[in-house]
Amino acid sequence: MRRLAHISDLHFGRIDDRVVEALVSELNNERPDLVVVSGDLTQGARSSEFRAARRFLDRLQSPWLAVPGNHDISPYHLVQRFFDPFARFRRYIQQATEPVFHDEEIAIVGINSVRAMLLELNWAHGSLSRGQMERAEERFAAMPPSLFRIVVAHHPFLPPSDEPTVRTVGRAAEALDCFERAGVKLTLSGHLHRGYARFLEPVLADGHITEIKARAPERAATRSLLVVQAASATSTRLRGEPNAYNHIRIEDGLASIEPRIWTGRDFANAESAGSGI
Ligand SMILES: [Fe+2]
Ligand SMILES: [Fe+2]
């Protein structure tokens, strides 16, 4: 059995200090086997914000791994944005922007979905290249098949069910297809500041899914990939949902997700906080 904490969209630079303190003490009480951070550690990729994010991570008694989010590359320092966009992430947080972790039970492959520039006006969106998908597939292929396989990336792979037009990461359909081939059972993401979990089901009317179904009808009836999104753990930039993060328990090849939601005083589970995934 493994216990993970999935935290996302911390946004140091625009954080609620009380929430940060509550999160540190809760995580240190719970001591999950791993804390997985799905990007947007900072608000504007400033050095001071990265230092604060790192101080937060250093206070955790569990090991952690992180992938960058679109807010972790500088919108101000354009030379750096285009020539070395992840320099500060590498310096302050972690050398790898696509970290890999595995032990005797689980395997996690991080994918960097952030783009310094896109052929459109909004550069906050993310995308995955085919090379990144191939690399993820190769990484999983090198690990024992018995491990419970997890992908972490910042941008969402499926939209929330009540907002099906929300933009997902570029090449989401291809990526999900690739992950399934690699035996991935769970994806962890953020970016939308909304928490939800959805199985990749063939019956969904979403265009991406129809596309996958059309390409792989033989697998459509047996899909079991769970797509999990976390709300913002600590930011004051909320989009209609309170701060929250996910407890994840992996046992006997199954993952169970329990969102922990900020009530204004502390984090509580979904029922007692009156909402949830
Ligand atoms: Fe964010
Ligand atoms: Fe984001």
- Express each pLDDT in 167-198 by its tens digit: 999 999 999 999 999 999 999 999 999 999 99
pLDDT band at 207 (very low <50, low <70, confident <90, very high): very low
| Distance (Å) from CA 43 to ligand 1 centroid | 8
| Distance (Å) from CA 10 to ligand 2 centroid | 10
Name the nearest CA neighbour of 107 among 118, 99, 115, 95: 99
Give how many domains the chain has, as a whole number.
Answer: 1
| Distance (Å) from CA 195 to ligand 1 centroid | 12
| Distance (Å) from CA 142 to ligand 2 centroid | 30
Burial of 59 (0-12, 13-18, 19+ CB in 10 A): middle
The whole-model pTM stands at: 0.90
- Express each pLDDT in 226-266 by its tens digit: 999 999 999 998 988 999 999 999 999 889 999 999 999 99
Range of the domain at 11: 2-273
CATH for 109: 3.60.21.10
What's the pLDDT score for residue 161? 87
pLDDT at 205 over 60: no
Name the nearest CA neighbour of 99 among 155, 175, 152, 169: 152
Please name which ligand lies nearest the alpha carbon of 231: 1
Identify the residue whose tokens are 């009836």.
221
- Express each pLDDT in 208-219 by its tens digit: 433 333 334 444
Angle at CA 96, nearest 5°, toward 150 and 31?
Answer: 55
